């Protein structure tokens, strides 16, 4: 049976100004914040990848009188993308609409519901593509490569400083973005070394901005989005009782990476998100919402689509830390 039912929308008079929706704040999602979006006209195509080593060596030679300068250049390779199309809809039945009390804005609620589903799905895809061991050239693990940041003897600031030096040596760039799992942020907020560093600041409270400053990155995000895989029941109470929740992103992981503010042919990036602009009619955000009539079922349909392909572009430009805390 489709939900909500008529009885869900026709409520007793004392309750007409009350409703509860468990929609996560859009700011919770990080998939559109970390790596630049690349709007493309075609669903699939190739992109150029420049050799790293050619830009880290020099062929400059002494020029003798009457001779040419030394020649040089770089090698190029290609990568490919394929923007899949993902979609979801919510139908608003005419009978449901006719019986709904005035405090229900069905079109708005349906739009927010399906948009939230797309954003959640995209964050799950981002985690699967980027936030794990084996994706990046450098992977480090707590206990094995450093003292876990939840241990009293750990030194997160020094660990990150060492990481940055290694990162610069390998890539020529400084990591400018950090993504923290929820459990890591919890431990950093109460880590004695960090509290000692910021105790004389104006706030005196450990925040994402202060940790970003201590880690010397331009942007720092904590992934707090959660999800459940519970099946849908006809009884909301039974469904909620059966549901269990987990963070979309590994709460004990950390990603350091470099990405430019905007995509560029001559500037490397750890990753890109390709969005099929040609399909979405010029929409660069990768999401489109439509409302249209489904006369054969006597309902209005609110439908949302998004297109993307999340690609690791330069594995050297990312460092993933696992088992960072207990």
CA distance 289 to 323: 39
Q: Average the pLDDT over each of 102-111, 270-279, 311-320 and give the range with the smallest value.
A: 102-111
For 133-179, what is each residue's pLDDT tens digit? 999 999 999 999 999 999 989 999 999 999 999 999 999 999 999 99
Which class would CATH give 22-48+78-322?
Answer: alpha beta
The whole-number pLDDT of residue 172 equals 93
CA distance 280 to 56: 39
CA distance 34 to 265: 18
Prediction pTM value: 0.84
CA distance 129 to 271: 10
For 242-287, what is each residue's pLDDT tens digit? 999 999 999 999 999 999 998 887 789 999 999 998 888 766 667 8
- Whether residue 57 is predicted with pLDDT greater than 80 in this model: the reply is no
Domain positions in the chain are: 22-48+78-322
- The position carrying tokens 């890539």 is 171
The whole-number pLDDT of residue 136 equals 98
Confidence band of 31 (pLDDT split at 50, 70, 90)? very high
Question: DSSP string spanning 261-284?
Answer: SS--TTS--SEEEEEETTTTTS-T
């Amino acid at each position: 049976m489709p939900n909500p039912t008529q009885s869900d929308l026709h409520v007793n008079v004392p309750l007409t100004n009350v409703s509860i929706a468990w929609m996560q704040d859009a700011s919770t999602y990080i998939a559109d914040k970390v790596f630049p979006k690349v709007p493309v006209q075609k669903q699939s195509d190739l992109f150029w990848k420049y050799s790293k080593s050619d830009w880290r060596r020099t062929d400059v030679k002494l020029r003798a009188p009457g001779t040419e300068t030394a020649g040089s250049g770089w090698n190029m390779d290609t990568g490919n993308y394929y923007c899949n199309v993902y979609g979801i809809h919510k139908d608003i039945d005419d009978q449901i609409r006719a019986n709904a009390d005035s405090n229900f804005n069905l079109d708005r609620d349906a739009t927010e519901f399906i948009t939230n589903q797309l954003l959640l799905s995209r964050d799950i895809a981002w985690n699967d593509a980027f936030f794990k061991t084996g994706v990046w050239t450098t992977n480090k693990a707590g206990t094995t490569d450093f003292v876990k940041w939840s241990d009293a003897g750990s030194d997160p600031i020094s660990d990150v400083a060492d990481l940055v030096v290694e990162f610069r040596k390998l890539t020529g760039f400084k990591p400018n973005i950090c993504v923290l799992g929820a459990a890591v942020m919890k431990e950093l907020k109460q880590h004695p070394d960090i509290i000692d560093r910021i105790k004389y600041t104006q706030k005196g409270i450990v925040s994402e901005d202060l940790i970003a400053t201590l880690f010397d990155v331009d942007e720092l995000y904590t992934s707090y989005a959660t999800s459940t895989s519970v099946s849908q029941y006809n009884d909301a109470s039974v469904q909620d009782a059966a549901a269990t929740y987990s963070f979309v992103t590994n709460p004990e992981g950390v990603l350091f990476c470099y990405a430019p503010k905007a995509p560029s042919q001559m500037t490397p990036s750890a990753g890109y998100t390709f969005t099929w602009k040609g399909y979405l009619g010029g929409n660069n955000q990768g999401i489109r919402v439509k409302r249209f009539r489904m006369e054969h079922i006597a309902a209005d349909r609110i439908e949302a689509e998004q297109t993307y392909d999340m690609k690791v572009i330069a594995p050297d430009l990312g460092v993933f830390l696992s088992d960072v805390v207990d």
